[in-house]
Amino acid sequence: MYDRRIRWNASRNCFERNGAAFPLIGFNAYWMGIHETFSYPTLEQTHEMFSLAAKLGATAIRSHTLGCSSGHAKMLRPSIPRSNEALNECAWAPIDAAFKTAQETGVYIVANLTDSYAWYNGSYVHFCPEGVPKNSFWESRDARDAFKRYIYEYLNHVNPFTGVAIKDCPELALLELGNELGNFRPEATSVTTPTFEWLDEISKYIKSIAPDVLILNGTDECLGSDRSNDFALAAVDAHSVHFYEMDYKRLDNAIRSARKAGKGVIVGEYSSTFPESWYRALERRNIHGDMVWSFYPHERDGTRVPHDDGFTVWDDVQPDVDNSRRLCLFEAHVKRVRDNDCYMGSISPASCINGCEIS
């Protein structure tokens, strides 16, 4: 029987599908659960992203809001936690549609459970009961229990389109504990970093509900710190690092430490403005996956959904030199990874260097 579930093989140092090494390569489309305007994406917009990924040869899409959705009336977790509060049923529709489309296209999903920042999609402050400040989240038992209730409800949600619970959905390649949980950004209300004890308890709790779900640790900048001690986390399968500067030393440190611990490494975000040399450097390092930031859809009339964070990419033929360059660089990168068997673990980094240097 064909096994569509993505699995981590520590002895081969690679992700696998049906026993064969499998790279997780794609892009971020963080809005697929809800737009920044607090409107839900259309089915056409969801289909556009998965169809684009399939066309480019990408294997995965990372999307914050397919799991991180709190703090607004249209989110999954609309308000502060209460023991008897149900999740918002309306907010499931775009999430269910994304998982159904993933099943139809064969493109996998990387979903986040929460975020560090005060952005529209919500953060872990929304799991802090009244009277518990955000900077006490990691140590507060009440906040942790509220987060675990959310995880339980999320993983046990049954998709009405597929009849499959998220915990049993093979299209969920990785479940990320949270986005950039270890990044200190006071201007975005992120002023503390996770403890090892929190990361350990939450990752083990997820495995107790969904043993086949692979867990991605998203501490990013504090990865390997004394406080988080990430590489000692037994239940975590892979670690994520993000780059908006081409910091190869930090990347190499993450790769070495993860490999020593028998874990995977995903570059979960990086700037779409980076030059070709960045893509070549990723290929040479034979990591386990990467996802560029970020892709955006179109309206029904073909116009771009407006967005300008300096990194946005659309798939169209509008006269936009920067957009065309970003799209072409990413497409060429995906092709090299797939054609030359990069990110396959069992292949030595030296072999991957030679293969991926071929144009």
pLDDT tens for 86-110 read 899 999 999 999 999 999 999 999 9
Q: What pLDDT sits at residue 342?
A: 84
Using CA atoms, how far apart are residues 240 and 218, in angstroms rounded to an integer?
A: 5
Q: What pLDDT sits at residue 84?
A: 63
Domain boundaries, the chain: 6-356
Buried b (16+ CB within 10 A) or exposed e, 139-162: ebeebbebbbbbbeebbebebeeb
Q: What pLDDT sits at residue 355?
A: 36
- Identify residue 13 by its one-letter amino acid code: N
**Residues 193-203 pLDDT 10s:** 999 999 999 99
Using CA atoms, how far apart are residues 302 and 298, in angstroms rounded to an integer?
A: 6
CA atoms within a 13 Å half-sphere pointing along the CA-CB vector of 153: 19
Say what the alpha-carbon torsion angle 315, 317, 322, 324 is, to the nearest 10 degrees: 70
pTM of the model: 0.95
Residues 6+ apart with CB under 8 A from 43: 97
Q: What pLDDT sits at residue 96?
A: 99
Residues of the chain with pLDDT under 50: 347-359
Please name the residue that has the structure tokens 């509900």. Answer: 209
Q: Are strands 14-17 and 6-9 parallel, antiparallel or unpaired?
A: antiparallel
Contact of 284 with 337, CB cutoff 8 Å: no
Partnered with residue 109 across adjacent β-strands are 61, 172
Using CA atoms, how far apart are residues 271 and 222, in angstroms rounded to an integer?
A: 20
Peptide bond into 271 cis (omega under 30): no
The DSSP secondary-structure symbol of 298 reads B
Which of 232, 300, 285, 284 has its CA nearest to residue 260? 232
For domain 6-356, the CATH architecture is Alpha-Beta Barrel (3.20)
